Structure 1
Amino acid sequence: MNCKQFNSIKLEEVLALLGHLPTKQNEKEAWYLNPFGTETQASFKLDKTLNLWYLFSEGIGGNNTDFIIKYQNTSVKEVLDWAEKQNFSSFQPQNDIHLKKSTPNYQITEIKELQNENLKNYLRQRGFSQNVYPFIKEVHFTIGGKNLYAIGFENLSGGWELRNSFYKGSLLKKDISVINLNNENHEKNKNVVVFEGFLDALSFVEMKRFFKGDLLVMNSISLLNKAKEHLKNYSEINLFLDNDRAGEICKNEILKSFPKAKDHSKIYFPHKDLNDYLLSRIQIKNENRQQRAREEQQQNCQIFKRRR
């Protein structure tokens, strides 16, 4: 698939595949909540006639390729590789989508403990060990007749956030997730750590293995208000939000409602999020290990030469 072919696919289908549905629409246009950030009023406009998008809150826009580049923070080549695997040709025509919204074009076929080696490898690539396995599932599902599988992270409404090397989306009802860590007495925790996405929450689990408290994952910063409502249950709130414009807005909104909340984003700055920071730490450790191995090898060579 090339850019021309991908850009000819209806962006409405691409957005639906990624779990984004319009808040309002007509024959010519559709409006969405910002897929890249948080807002309470839709500012993302899809022109159905031109198949182009424009985000009024940031003053940017473009075609399908431009959207996925920003959405997945990736290159054109990786966008086309991703698009090639989505099988968009099996989707319903655009004028049928709004007629069939009550009948989802997806189905969850199996939920089980993590077994798939491709998914385990994906987790390793994101810096995770087996320590995160208890918090995720392996979810098999179909979209538009295509069989897929992904890492699944469940929310409070039984919906799923899904990730693999080529797919980022959600199924069933969107909601926040709350994880209780190491509370053997099952007492209500007073402290909570807040994240935008579950990969950052898993990164925290990986780095803070003895933490006792709750993890709250918004899963979408469009759920900020619901997250704030849940945060009323805690006396200690710690924020690990993204170092970008959307994360800044989200942080400021929480701090307005909870002035005693603590912002920890400077710990992993200039990295965008906690997972990027985890990966950088692993890379530095590997480089240091390789450097020590080279130095030891040089020392051994020098010792061998002196003995000769």
Structure 2
Amino acid sequence: MNCKQFNTIPLEEVLQKLGHLPTKQNEKEAWFLNPFGTETQASFKLDKKLNLWYLFSEGIGGNNTDFMLKYSNTSLKEVLEWVQKQNFSSFQPQVNNQLRNAIPNYQIKKVIELQNENLKNYLFERGLSSTVYPFIKEIHFTINDKNLYAIGFENISKGWELRNTFYKGSLQKKDISIINFNPIDDNKKVVVFEGFIDALSFIEMQKIYKGDLLVMNSIALLDKTKTHLKNYSEINLFLDNDRAGLNCKNTILKSFPNAKDYSNLYKNHKDLNEYLMEKIKKRNELHFRKEPEKPPQKIRGFKRRR
């Protein structure tokens, strides 16, 4: 996949993959709320015929590549690697105009407590036990009449981050998520993660924790994250050890010099979940056991409340 090929994919499908739905559309254009921030009136216009976008609130625009470089805040190489993994249905040597103009059909069928064994196995493979079940849901939904199910993690706008073995996406409004472990604590403490799997890994590893967990759900929500961080007297960062995570960390530290960075605890791993999985693997090799029954080594200085 190269830039030229990526730019032939309908941006509408890219936005759909990222969980952004149009507020209004017709055969020629579609309007979205700002995918890079927050707003109440749609200012992001997609020209379906040209497959180009323009954000009126910021006065910027471009093609698919321009969009993803801004949205992900990563390198071009990382953007193309992400695109290659998505298996966009409309990627063909010649783009099908019927697909280009199709209206995505999203519908959430039901939201229930986690029951599906495939989803439980997915969590188990990520080093996560039933400890994290209270913080997630099982979501059954359709996309263009295709029935799907996934682990759902709710954000503060009632949207959902979705994960299963084969699918990574979101539905409804994209936003940050906040979990509160001690609503009566006056000393406002927060730990910050890019994705909810890392947040669940933190919960898995801690016995007692009093404070909030903030999950960005997208580095494109950095500005909104910073706005919420103003409410906390103690900020602890558990961001990814990649270029995007480093940029995000440095931006937050510049705005909040007293924030503490804990990425060094898992410096040889991409993120906290990868670190957790490696700890479990080593422990299982040591004890010749398949299923982890005890929590791995906790992160020093943090405890989780049951």
Q: Which range, TM-score by smaller chain?
A: 0.7 to 0.9
Secondary structure of 1:255 counterpart: helix
Report the counterpart of residue 25 of structure 1 in structure 2: 46
Mapped to 1, the partners of 2:90 and 2:51 lie a distance apart of: 24
Mapped to 2, the partners of 1:289 and 1:272 lie a distance apart of: 26
Report the counterpart of residue 266 of structure 1 in structure 2: 264
Secondary structure of 2:101 counterpart: helix
Report the counterpart of residue 118 of structure 1 in structure 2: 118
Conservation of the 8 A alpha-carbon contact between 1:152 and 1:160? yes
Mapped to 2, the partners of 1:290 and 1:162 lie a distance apart of: 33
Conservation of the 8 A alpha-carbon contact between 2:19 and 2:173? no
Secondary structure of 1:149 counterpart: strand
| Aligned residue among 84, 98, 101 for 1:96 | 101
Bigger-Rg structure (1/2):
1
Conservation of the 8 A alpha-carbon contact between 1:239 and 1:261? yes
Mapped to 2, the partners of 1:275 and 1:20 lie a distance apart of: 23
Question: Does 1:150 find its partner at 2:161?
Answer: no
Give the 3 Å change call, closer, same or farther, for CA 120–198 of structure 1 in structure 2: same
Report the counterpart of residue 132 of structure 2 in structure 1: 132
Deviation at 1:105, TM superposition (A): 1.6
Give the 3 Å change call, closer, same or farther, for CA 277–116 of structure 1 in structure 2: same
Secondary structure of 1:158 counterpart: coil
Secondary structure of 1:225 counterpart: helix
Secondary structure of 1:173 counterpart: coil
Count of residue pairs brought into register by the alignment: 256
| Aligned residue among 209, 232, 240 for 1:242 | 240
Mapped to 1, the partners of 2:269 and 2:74 lie a distance apart of: 21
1:198 is aligned with what amino acid?
Answer: F
Conservation of the 8 A alpha-carbon contact between 2:193 and 2:215? yes
For each residue in 1:145-166, what CA deviation from the matched residue of structure 2 results, as whole angstroms up to 9, or x when unmatched?
0010000000001000000001
Structure 2 regions of 5+ residues with no counterpart?
21-34, 36-43, 290-306
Mapped to 1, the partners of 2:263 and 2:256 lie a distance apart of: 16
Secondary structure of 1:93 counterpart: helix
| Aligned residue among 63, 66, 77 for 1:45 | 63
1:1-308 alignment to 2 at 5 Å? 10-12=9-11, 14-19=13-18, 21=20, 23-26=44-47, 27-31=49-53, 45-46=63-64, 55=69, 60=76, 67=80, 69-70=81-82, 79=85, 83=87, 93-97=98-102, 100=103, 105-181=105-181, 183=182, 186-188=184-186, 190-290=188-288
For each residue in 1:35-60, what CA deviation from the matched residue of structure 2 results, as whole angstroms up to 9, or x when unmatched?
xxxxx99787328xxxx998487663
TM superposition score normalised by structure 2: 0.72
Conservation of the 8 A alpha-carbon contact between 2:10 and 2:90? no
Deviation at 1:130, TM superposition (A): 0.4
Secondary structure of 2:64 counterpart: strand
Mapped to 1, the partners of 2:6 and 2:221 lie a distance apart of: 30
Aligned-pair identity in percent equals 55
For each residue in 1:177-199, what CA deviation from the matched residue of structure 2 results, as whole angstroms up to 9, or x when unmatched?
11012x2x644551100000000
Conservation of the 8 A alpha-carbon contact between 1:152 and 1:163? yes
Deviation at 1:61, TM superposition (A): 6.1
Secondary structure of 1:138 counterpart: strand
Deviation at 1:88, TM superposition (A): 9.2
Report the counterpart of residue 300 of structure 2 in structure 1: none
Structure 1 regions of 5+ residues with no counterpart?
1-5, 34-39, 292-308
Conservation of the 8 A alpha-carbon contact between 1:155 and 1:177? yes
1:215 is aligned with what amino acid?
Answer: L
Give the 3 Å change call, closer, same or farther, for CA 179–225 of structure 1 in structure 2: same
Mapped to 2, the partners of 1:44 and 1:289 lie a distance apart of: 54
Report the counterpart of residue 301 of structure 1 in structure 2: none
Mapped to 2, the partners of 1:43 and 1:200 lie a distance apart of: 32
- RMSD after superposition: 3.5
Give the 3 Å change call, closer, same or farther, for CA 175–10 of structure 1 in structure 2: same
Give the 3 Å change call, closer, same or farther, for CA 128–25 of structure 1 in structure 2: same
